[in-house]
Amino acid sequence: MDKTQIKEQLRKYNIKPNKLMGQNFLINENVLKEIIKAANLNKNDIVLEVGPGLGILTKELAKKAKKVMTIEKDEKIVEALREELEEYKNIEIICGDILDILGTVPSTLGTVPNYKVVANIPYYLTSHLIRTLLELENQPEEITIMIQKEVAQRICLKPPKTNLLAISVQFYGNPEIISIIPKEDFWPEPKIDSAIIKITNIKKPENVNIKKFFKLVKVGFSSPRKQLANNLSQGLNFNKEEIKKALAECNLNIQARASNLEIKDWIHLLNITNPSDHDHTNQSG
């Protein structure tokens, strides 16, 4: 759909784009094709879509996959979707907040095997939703999403420029930027460009206490410009000599910052130091 067609559809259902809900509609069909190509779906796939808008991507997903579960918070848009997607029998429309739905026990996805996430995510949801999906008991096989370009770039950073968000994603899977999408490809036009990002090889690392791992990482990044040894000694009452020894085993020096460490270094540091023996704070992972 181009901008004129989008406006006509919105007028038909008396819908006005809601900035607070991050409603920016895609108006370049080539981008749609890029998302579908990146998702690499087959007829056995079950897809979770978040924020379907007027269902343009949803229709294309339904043509490729066995089933599409699409979740939309805006009740007016849900009404429009029920009419627009009526002929597609393999689409299930769920009205609600994705974070609330994923937070239920068991969640809607609790018994769904081998599903993939494909979505054009509202900007305000990005980081929280990605982390929530990766932390699920029933993780998706792959995630192909369109998000803010800057966030996509941060997620993919490696040492010496890594960050807490990058570690939070790369701990569970391998992120890759597929392409950059200019802001002009949306209406209303957002202030920033977007990117299609794909996360593959999603799994929970074995023999790692996830809660303790992220407690350590969060304290490590608590003052990113400070040396890691200072953050850990202050935040977790670690002995600096102990930290120095642990860093040396990771081929890092005492001046190292949190951004210098790879995930394997954090795991090694965790195994050596074991925060439960040192932590006197109430900070949780």
Question: Could you tell me the CATH number of the domain that includes residue 227?
Answer: 1.10.8.100
Q: 72-126: per-residue pLDDT in tens? A: 999 999 999 999 999 999 999 999 999 998 877 556 666 777 899 999 988 889 9
Residues 232 and 166 grouped into a single domain: no
284 domain-assigned: no
283 domain-assigned: no
Residues 73 and 180 grouped into a single domain: yes
Query: Residue 74 in contact with residue 50, Cβ under 8 Å?
Result: no
How far from 80 is each of 12, 84, 278, CA to CA, in Å?
A: 9, 6, 55
Amino acid letter, residue 145: I
- Predicted model pTM: 0.90
The rounded distance, in Å, linking the Cα atoms of 149 and 181 is 8
Q: 161-214: per-residue pLDDT in tens? A: 999 999 999 999 999 999 999 999 999 999 999 999 999 999 999 899 999 999
Q: 7-50: per-residue pLDDT in tens? A: 999 999 999 888 767 788 999 999 999 999 999 999 999 999 99
- pLDDT for position 274: 73
129 domain-assigned: yes
Give the number of other Cβ atoms within 10 Å of residue 225's Cβ: 8
- pLDDT for position 281: 37
Which candidate, 18, 3, 11, places its Cα nearest to that of 80? 11
Lowest mean pLDDT among 12-21, 47-56, 146-155: 12-21
Query: Residue 94 in contact with residue 71, Cβ under 8 Å?
Result: yes
The rounded distance, in Å, linking the Cα atoms of 214 and 165 is 11
Burial of 19 (0-12, 13-18, 19+ CB in 10 A): exposed
274 Ramachandran zone, left/alpha/beta (phi>0; psi -120 to 50) = left
- pLDDT for position 276: 52
Residues 159 and 18 grouped into a single domain: yes
Which CATH number characterizes residue 24's domain?
3.40.50.150
Average pLDDT of the residues in 149-158: 98
Residue 150, C-beta contacts closer than 8 angstroms, at least 6 positions apart: 192
Q: 200-251: per-residue pLDDT in tens? A: 999 999 899 999 999 999 999 999 889 999 999 888 888 888 888 888 888 8
- Domain end point (choices 200, 218, 250): 200
> Could you tell me where the beta strands, DSSP code E, fall in 58-102?
67-72, 91-95
Q: At what angle do helices 228-235 and 210-220 cross, to 10 degrees?
A: 120
Structural domain for 260, as ranges: 210-277
Residues 144 and 92 grouped into a single domain: yes
- Domain end point (choices 177, 200, 223): 200
How far from 25 is each of 1, 21, 74, 173, 246, CA to CA, in Å?
A: 9, 12, 14, 28, 49
The length of the chain is: 285
Residues 102 and 178 grouped into a single domain: yes
State both tokens at 23.
Answer: 């409603």
